[in-house]
Amino acid sequence: LQRNSRFAKLTQEHVDYFQNLLGAESAIIDGLSKDASEDIEPFNSDWMRKYRGHAQLVLKPQSTDEVSKILKYCNDNLLAVVPQGGNTGLVGGSVPVFDEIVINLQKMNNIRSFDEVSGILVADAGVILEVADNFLAERRHIFPLDLGAKGSCQIGGNVATNAGGLRLLRYGSLHGNVLGIEVVLPDGTIVDDLSKLRKNNTGYDIKQLFIGGEGTIGIITGISILCPQRSPAINVAYFGLESYEKCQEAFKEAKNQLSEILSAFELMDGRTQKLINRATGKKLPLEGEHPFFCLIETSGSNTDHDNEKLQSFLEHVMETSIVSDGVLAQDQTQIQELWSCREGIPECLGHWGGVYKYDLSLPISDMYDLVNDVRDRLMKAGLVGDEDFHPVVDVVGYGHMGDANLHLNVPTRRYDKEVEKQLEPFVYEWVQMKNGSISAEHGLGIAKKPFIGYSRSDTMIRLMKQIKDLYDPNGIMNPYKYI
């Protein structure tokens, strides 16, 4: 990959423009000047420390108007940019590839309005997800998305990646919950579509292009989102199971018996739980070893009603030996403790060095076969083991089983060409054979861009390219990524 020479290189004149526009505090400069107000490095490297860019300038606008002026100037001067939220993305989309200017939304962090009757929240794109959810919790509402990175990801970044997460089973995708957005196009045009309507069939629903657009056609500066009532009764159970078949039975029974109160059904294989224990020393909730674990959450409005349902579900799955062992959280601390065995996996797997990550949609019945196939393949190649010379620590699978979304992760001691050759295109071909998706929720970024053809037809890719060219004719928005 080479830097596109069409793009201008940053000069002192450009920097002066931005400093005049934003003030010195909101422009972090590296290289051109010594008086950097903040270290630029964290904005140049991604959460996994796998992708590293060389931006010399990070801009932190405080208003939609400033974003508009920045983009117009960049477009007129052919300066490439990378929109950045909390920088927790997992496909290298949020950091520059070369010297693109980073436009970070962290200073746009105001809640604009909340209507307790309709449950509609309007907020700046830079509001941290957890802050938004806590704000809603005080008003007995809930953000319809939750994920492990909630403490640092931004709601604008969530919308830009159409993040799925841990509540999708209950509340559905952001494509349905986001009612409106405010977005700035590359030429500086402010599109104010902060609608608060649930229904609006007047023409193409253009906001959908920006949801999951990964900052390639505009910068989202505000969102309007429908937030459900927060359920007062929450229960979390964690089960050990003897086979993947049993996990499927448990899911079927959970839907059957818990029906409308089921709010999450997550899968963790035994290997992920062992690795959590190895990485952190954390004691696991169940004593015995099991090849699989499931986490089930229920959320409802009536504690007695929920407990009754949950009790008969627990009796059923224990009596019929669908699950071998289980624990039910008794208070809020235990709820968090059980959730951490699932949410904490991505962070723990980074403990040994690098992780090859595959975020896949597959038919539920076949999901775990891939993990076994990949493990066999790497074992045969002699690449997996406990010794230092083995690049691969283990091959594990977990994910949002309720959404048929598998996270296949290969934690390694170092990134290794031989491992990569064994994994790709093998994994992508496997997924294509099952008509799955090579990116269920993390997006394309730079990591998955070359593989889009495994999940999308040539016609679809052509239509996507037409949209990109229409909205961003100069190609300044997040170049080298997506399509």
Binding residues (CB under 6 A) for ligand 2HG: these are: 90, 148, 345-346, 357, 359, 407, 409
Task: Report helix, strand or coil for 410.
Answer: strand
Stretch that binds ligand FAD, among 89-97, 265-273, 280-288, 293-301 (CB under 6 A): 89-97
Q: Residue 225 binds what, of ligand FAD, ligand 2HG, none (CB under 5 to 8 Å, by partner type)?
A: none
Assess contact for 82 and 99: CB atoms under 8 A: no
Q: Residue 407 binds what, of ligand 2HG, ligand FAD, none (CB under 5 to 8 Å, by partner type)?
A: ligand 2HG
Among 163, 211, 329, 423, interactor with ligand FAD by CB under 6 A:
163
Decide if residue 341 touches ligand FAD (CB under 6 A). no
Stretch that binds ligand FAD, among 50-58, 161-169, 264-272, 288-296 (CB under 6 A): 161-169
CA distance linking residue 426 with residue 467, whole number of Å? 31
Given the complex with ligand FAD, which of 30 and 359 has the nearer CB atom? 359
Q: Residue 219 binds what, of ligand 2HG, ligand FAD, none (CB under 5 to 8 Å, by partner type)?
A: ligand FAD
Which residues 206-265 are close enough to bind ligand FAD by CB under 6 A?
214-215, 219-220
Assess contact for 451 and 438: CB atoms under 8 A: yes
Assess contact for 210 and 181: CB atoms under 8 A: yes
Residues facing residue 181 across a β-bridge: 193, 223
Among 157, 180, 300, 391, interactor with ligand FAD by CB under 6 A:
157
CA distance linking residue 431 with residue 438, whole number of Å? 7
Given the complex with ligand FAD, which of 84 and 224 has the nearer CB atom? 84
Q: Which residues of 13-38 are buried (b: 16+ CB within 10 A; e: fewer)?
A: ebbebbbebbeeebbbbbeeeeeeee
Residues whose CB falls within 8 Å of the CB of residue 349, separated by 6 or more in sequence, listed in order: 272, 275, 279, 355, 396, 409, 411
3-class SS shares of the chain: helix, strand, coil, % to 5: 35, 20, 40
Assess contact for 81 and 477: CB atoms under 8 A: yes
Phi and psi torsions of 383, nearest 5°? -100, -10
Given the complex with ligand FAD, which of 262 and 323 has the nearer CB atom? 262
Given the complex with ligand FAD, which of 75 and 422 has the nearer CB atom? 75
Name the H helices within 218-366: 244-258, 270-280, 303-319, 332-343, 345-349
Which residue is closest to ligand FAD by CB?
157
DSSP at 77: T
Smallest separation (angstroms) from ligand FAD to the CB of 361: 12
Distances from the Cα of 418 to the Cα of 381, 399, 409, 423, 425, angstroms: 9, 26, 16, 9, 13
Given the complex with ligand FAD, which of 119 and 346 has the nearer CB atom? 346
Q: Residue 186 binds what, of ligand 2HG, ligand FAD, none (CB under 5 to 8 Å, by partner type)?
A: none
Residues facing residue 222 across a β-bridge: 124, 182
CA distance linking residue 323 with residue 314, whole number of Å? 9
The amino acid present at 177, given as its one-letter code, is N
Distance of CA 46 to the CA centre of its chain: 13
Smallest separation (angstroms) from ligand FAD to the CB of 61: 11
Which residues 32-51 are close enough to bind ligand FAD by CB under 6 A?
47
Decide if residue 478 touches ligand FAD (CB under 6 A). yes
Decide if residue 61 touches ligand FAD (CB under 6 A). no
Smallest separation (angstroms) from ligand FAD to the CB of 320: 31
Q: Residue 44 binds what, of ligand 2HG, ligand FAD, none (CB under 5 to 8 Å, by partner type)?
A: none
Given the complex with ligand 2HG, which of 178 and 264 has the nearer CB atom? 264
Phi and psi torsions of 179, nearest 5°? -95, -25
Stretch that binds ligand FAD, among 79-87, 245-253, 259-267, 380-388 (CB under 6 A): 79-87
- Sites of contact with ligand FAD (CB under 6 A): 47, 82-90, 93-94, 105, 125, 147-149, 153-154, 156-158, 160-161, 163-166, 214-215, 219-220, 346-347, 441-442, 445, 478
